[in-house]
C-alpha cells in the first residue's frame, strides 16, 4: 500500500464510523490560552481589532453561502484577507493616504479575485509574497512605534492579521496539494 492509498483509507475509515468527538485536554488548554490572548489583545487594541474581526466574520459568512461547495476550501484564507482589505482600504480612503497604499490595495485585491476565480498555487504565491513583504514592513514599523499609541495598536493588529493570512494560506496550499494528489492517485491505474 503506497502512502497515498494509506491516507485515503485512513480518511475513509473515519467518515462513516463513530469517532470520539470529546475535546482533548490539549484542545481545552489551547482554547483557554487563545481566549485569554484574544481578550488581552482586544483590551489593548480596541476598535483596531474589532473592525477587521467583524469584517472577516461577515466575509466568511457571505463567502460560505455564495461559494460552491468545491470552493469552500478557500473561505478561511479568503475571509481573513478580504476582512483585512476592507479595514485597510477604509482607513486609507478615510485618512486620504491613498498614494503608495494603492499598490497594496490593488495587489491584495487582484490576488483575492484570482484566488476566488481559480484557487491554486499561483494566487497563493502572489498573496504569500504580498503578505510576507507587508509583514516585514509592518513589523519594522511596529518595533519603531511607541507602545500605547494609535499607530502601535493598528500595526499590532496588522501584523496579527498578516500572520493569520500566511498561516491560513499555508493550510490552504497543503489542502489543495492533497486534493491534487488524491485526484492523481484516482486517475492512475492500479498496480495490482
Per-residue confidence (pLDDT) for residue 92, from 0 to 100: 85
Contact call for residues 80 and 164 (beta carbons, < 8 A) = yes
Helix axes 25-45, 47-66, angle to 10 degrees: 120
Taking the C-alpha atoms of residue 80 and residue 52, their distance in angstroms, rounded to an integer, is 8
pTM greater than 0.85? no
* Alpha-carbon span 112 to 128, nearest angstrom: 11
Quote the pLDDT of residue 25. 81
Q: Which residue numbers in the chain have pLDDT < 70?
A: 1-20, 190-192
Amino acid at each position: 500500500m503506497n502512502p497515498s492509498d494509506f491516507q485515503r483509507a485512513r480518511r475513509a475509515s473515519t467518515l462513516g464510523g463513530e469517532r470520539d468527538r470529546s475535546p482533548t485536554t490539549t484542545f481545552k488548554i489551547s482554547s483557554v490560552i487563545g481566549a485569554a490572548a484574544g481578550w488581552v489583545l482586544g483590551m489593548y487594541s480596541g476598535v483596531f481589532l474589532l473592525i477587521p474581526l467583524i469584517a472577516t466574520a461577515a466575509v466568511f459568512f457571505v463567502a460560505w453561502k455564495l461559494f460552491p461547495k468545491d470552493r469552500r476550501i478557500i473561505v478561511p484564507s479568503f475571509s481573513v484577507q478580504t476582512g483585512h482589505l476592507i479595514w485597510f482600504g477604509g482607513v486609507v480612503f478615510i485618512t486620504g493616504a491613498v498614494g503608495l497604499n494603492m499598490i497594496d490595495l490593488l495587489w491584495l485585491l487582484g490576488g483575492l479575485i484570482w484566488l476566488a476565480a481559480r484557487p491554486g498555487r499561483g494566487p497563493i504565491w502572489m498573496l504569500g509574497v504580498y503578505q510576507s513583504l507587508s509583514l516585514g514592513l509592518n513589523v519594522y514599523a511596529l518595533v519603531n512605534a511607541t507602545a500605547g499609541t494609535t499607530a502601535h495598536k493598528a500595526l499590532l493588529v496588522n501584523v496579527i492579521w498578516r500572520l493569520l493570512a500566511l498561516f491560513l494560506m499555508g493550510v490552504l496550499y497543503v489542502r489543495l496539494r492533497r486534493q491534487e494528489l488524491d485526484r492523481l492517485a484516482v486517475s492512475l491505474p492500479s498496480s495490482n
